[in-house]
Structure 1
Amino acid sequence: MKYRYVIGLGSNYEAEKKFPAMIGALLESFEEIWLSPVCKTTSTVGYGPDYFNAVASLTSALSPREFRKECKRIEYELGRVRPSVYCAADIDILACWDQPEPTYAQLFVEESYYQPQADSVLDQLGLCSKQVSDIPEGVQMALPDGRLIGLDTVHLQAA
């Protein structure tokens, strides 16, 4: 059985380097991902560096428990320390479906800053049941292999 995952991604520690490395690590573990624009957001706790955030979607045969374990392994390898206001890599499961149906992010994504990005990814997958709007301006950056991400929703395949 394959699951469709929607994940939230964030980094505020050496984010210009760590965020692309996080996407590269995901591509090493999974064949392909759909990635939203990468947006800069302020820390939700009121202090600490700004974050780079994005939403991604991918399919995997890993169970939700196994998938979460793989995400936490990637966070740890990139230098995630808990607790800390500095976050090298944050990968959170926002949704998991075995048979996805059209929806929109406000129904399942608590963090308002992720909602437009999640809708942009769902739209590319033909799974967004509302018109996509209000996606914040993206920040362009290069993946470790040189591919550019950040400004638009993109389909990335493992090299």
Structure 2
Amino acid sequence: MTLFYIGVGSNDEAEQNCWQMIQALRQQFGTLLVSSLIQTSADGAVAEERVADYYNAVACFESDVSSALINGWCKQVEDRLGRVRGSLKCRADLDILQVVDDVREVKISTIEEVYYRPLVKQLWNFQMGRPVSVFTGAINLVFETGVKLGDQPRLLPELEFEAV
């Protein structure tokens, strides 16, 4: 199985949209390891109007599906959540950051989106059994009773659906 590290981001109804993207990943790929959800500035955005800050997290999961299919699925989720490409408002952004066969192959320095690097490093340290960065300003995001994101990585269990 291959490990996928997916960047999750939004700056338009960010908390709700990040929740929906993470839930979609859980539904599609099962158990996820998810970093803290943090607020980052919209650096590089040139506009006359103020651009809202982003909420960003990184999710990691195992899959034997190809990168191309996972990328296509990510773009479908973005579209379903109302992403308008080229807009300064971003409802949903799901990007493949790293694809490796072994956690020891992760290369944080090659991640183009620098704001994701500390989040990937947080997950990598957790996976390697090393001390993890604690993001004291992390956004608490509740999924179901007893399952929430906070200042440290969290293993989110596969979603279970009751038969109707």
- TM-score, normalisation: structure 1: 0.86
- After superposition, the Cα gap between the structure-2 partners of 1:52 and 1:135, relative to the gap in structure 1 and judged at 3 Å, is same
SS of the equivalent of 1:80 reads coil
1:118 to 96, 117, 120: 120
User: Aligned to 1:65, which of 63, 68, 74?
Assistant: 68
SS at match of 1:93: strand
Instruction: Give structure 1 regions of 4+ aligned residues with deviation exceeding 6 angstroms.
Output: none
* Correspondence for 1:37: 36
State the alpha-carbon separation in 1 of the partners of residues 151 and 82 from structure 2. 26
Deviation of residue 17 (structure 1)? 1.2
Provide the rounded CA distance (Å) in 2 between the counterparts of 1:62 and 1:27.
15
Q: Indicate if the aligned counterparts of 1:39 and 1:136 stay in contact, CA closer than 8 A.
A: no
Letter in 2 for 1:126: M
Larger-Rg structure:
2
The residue identity in structure 2 corresponding to 1:8 is: G
1:79: Cα distance to partner?
Answer: 1.3
Measured in 2, the distance between the counterparts of 1:32 and 1:54 equals 16
Is 2:152 the partner of 1:152?
yes
- Any stretches of 5+ residues in structure 1 without a counterpart? none
Single out whichever of 33-42 and 109-118 deviates more from structure 2.
Answer: 109-118
Which residue in 1 is equivalent to 2:162?
none
Residues 10, 89 of structure 1: alpha-carbon distance in 2 compared, 3 angstrom cutoff: same
User: Are residue 84 (structure 1) and residue 87 (structure 2) matched?
Assistant: yes
Which deviations, in whole Å up to 9, do the C-alpha atoms of 1:13-60 show, x marking residues without a partner?
Answer: 111211111111111101111111100011121541111001111111
SS at match of 2:104: coil
What are the Cα deviations for residues 59-112 of structure 1, in whole angstroms up to 9, with x where unaligned? 11110101101111111111111111111110111110124425452x222222
Shift in Å, 1:133: 4.5
Residue 39 of structure 1 aligns with an amino acid whose one-letter code is I
Residue 28 and residue 103 in structure 1: after superposition, are their counterparts in 2 closer, same or farther (change >3 A)?
closer
CA distance in 2 between partners of 1:150 and 1:134 (Å): 9
Paired residues in the alignment total 154
Name the residue aligned to 1:5.
4
Please, what TM-score do these two structures have when normalized by structure 2?
Answer: 0.83
